[in-house]
Amino acid sequence: MNLKQLSQMLELSQTTVSRALNGYPEVNEETRRRVMDAARRHGYRPNPSARRLATGKAGMIGYVLPTGSAVDIDPHFVEFLSGLGDYARAHDFDLVLSPADAQDEETTYRRVVANKQVDALYVSSPKPADKRIKLLEQLGLPYIVHGRSEGLHFDYPFMDIDNEGAFHEAGRLLVQLGHSRIALINGQRAETFAVFRERGLRNALAASGLVLATPMIRSFAMTEENGYRAARSLLETSPRPTAIICSSLIMALGVVRAARDLGIEIPKDMSLIAHDDVFPWLKPENFSVPLATTRSSIRLAGARIAERLAARISGLEEGKSGEVWPVDLVVRGSVAGAPTRANS
């Protein structure tokens, strides 16, 4: 069933039917009702390709997916996607993933924009001075960044959580509990969130006259194995840290394993706080010692970004406004006062 057939059936022109369906004012309300009704009854659905060709609007939002044998999409993505998908379903648009060579995403961005394949894009895992943001700004397609870049000389629309504040809080708590040797196991430095988290922790320590020394920082891709290695190398120094703050629950698994291997008890010998993006399949309260976390649902972020993208597409949202969500600090059994000298 296409427009032509429908309009013949109604003995109206395609123009009128099209307008009736798309809510244009220059059509009699009675007629509109008739049209809407017939469309529903016959299950008429405008052909998206035709509509796209005519309007230039795609009804889809896009994401450039970095791929390559060396590239691992991380499991956070799927949670984010859940949120995005929820909103997208409710508002009837699809998502296009355009795989790109991780070495050369620019080509793909340009292609997607030039072809008008999508109405908006979202950008994730922004790096400091991220080129993709510059590019999109220049290409003029609506977009939102999930996270933040740094050192860009213009504003851009983003949605981020307060990584700095979160790790500041976490650090402050540890300091209050008497810890002074606090280590950080972070995600890769190339990611802006890692920069912010480090900064937050550093400032928290500085506020009490403490220093976050380079040897107390590890930055790696967030795998269990890297968490283990980082923790091990930290805990084998002397004097060892009495507390670790860690950027992901998955890494925290490795940290816990390292502590166990070394006979270090949590929280007696060492406190541990990790950032929790809220996975349904791995919960901090179920760690052998319930894990204190800085918590923020990445899924909700996905839904919010979808919402804002939709608003931008339809012109309801403009400007370059950034949005920063606060992060909860959830204290659980993995934190305790710093061990007394006798223990350490």
Partner DNA sequence: GGTATTCCCCAAAGCGCTTTGATTATTGCG
Partner DNA sequence: CGCAATAATCAAAGCGCTTTGGGGAATACC
Contact assessment for residue 230 and residue 251, using Cβ atoms and an 8 Å cutoff: yes
Of 56-115, binders to a copy of itself (CB under 8 A) are 58, 60, 65, 67-69, 71-75, 77-79, 81-82, 85-86, 88-89, 94-101, 111, 114-115
**Min dist. Cβ of residue 228 to DNA (A):** 53
Q: How far is the CB of 250 from a copy of itself (least distance, A)?
A: 5
Give yes or no for residue 242 binding DNA (CB under 7 A). no
The per-residue DSSP string of 80-123 comes to HHHHHHHHHHHTT-EEEEEEEETT-HHHHHHHHHHTT--SEEEE
Q: How far is the CB of 206 from a copy of itself (least distance, A)?
A: 32
Least distance to a copy of itself, CB of residue 74, Å:
7
Q: Is the dihedral of CA 111, 306, 246, 174 positive or negative?
A: positive
Both tokens of residue 127?
A: 């790096």
**Identified binder of DNA from the candidate list 46, 75, 290, 322, rule CB under 7 A:** 46
The count of residues interacting with a copy of itself (CB under 8 A) is 59
State how far the Cα of 190 lies from the Cα of 125, in Å rounded to an integer.
9
Tokens representing 33 are 């009702």
Q: Quick one: 22 or 176, whose CB is closer to DNA?
A: 22
Q: Residue 1 or residue 129: which is nearer to DNA going by CB?
A: 1
Among residues 52, 148, 137, the alpha carbon closest in space to that of 94 is found at 52
For a copy of itself, the binding residues in 134-193 under the rule CB under 8 A are: none
CB of 252 to DNA, least distance (A): 51
- What is the closest distance, in whole angstroms, from the C-beta atom of residue 101 to DNA in the complex? 24
**Shortest CB 16 distance to a copy of itself, Å:** 22
User: Which of a copy of itself, DNA, none binds 257 (CB below 5-8 Å, type-dependent)?
Assistant: a copy of itself
Residue 131 has a CB neighbour count (10 Å cut-off) of 14
120 in Cβ contact with 309 (< 8 Å) = yes
Chosen residue from 8, 33, 54, 285 binding DNA by CB under 7 A: 54
Q: For a copy of itself, which stretch binds (CB under 8 A), given 175-183, 200-208, 217-225, 309-317?
A: 217-225
| In the complex, minimum distance from the CB of residue 29 to a copy of itself, in angstroms, rounded to a whole number | 28
Phi, psi for residue 35 in degrees, rounded to 5 = -65, -50
Residue with tokens 């060396």: 70
Residue of 29, 70, 319, 340 interacting with DNA (CB under 7 A): 29
**CA nearest 294: which of 323, 272, 327?**
327
Distance, in Å, from the CA atom of 344 to the CA atom of 341, rounded to the nearest integer, reads 5
Q: Which amino acid appears at position 212 of this protein?
A: L
Query: Residue 48 corresponds to which tokens in the numbers above?
Result: 């998206």
The residue ranges of DSSP E strands in the chain, in sequence order, are: 60-67, 94-101, 120-124, 143-146, 158-161, 182-186, 217-219, 243-246, 271-276, 292-295, 322-325, 328-330
Which lies closer to DNA via its Cβ, residue 4 or residue 268? 4
Residues 9-28, mask of contacts with DNA (x by CB under 7 A) = --xxxxxx-xx-xx---xxx
**Measured from the CB atom, is 45 or 153 closer to a copy of itself?**
45
- Give residues with Cβ within 8 angstroms of 231, minimum separation 6: 185, 244, 254, 255, 258, 259
- Interface residue list for a copy of itself (CB under 8 A): 45, 47-50, 52-53, 58, 60, 65, 67-69, 71-75, 77-79, 81-82, 85-86, 88-89, 94-101, 111, 114-117, 222-225, 228, 250, 253-254, 257, 260-261, 279-283, 286-288
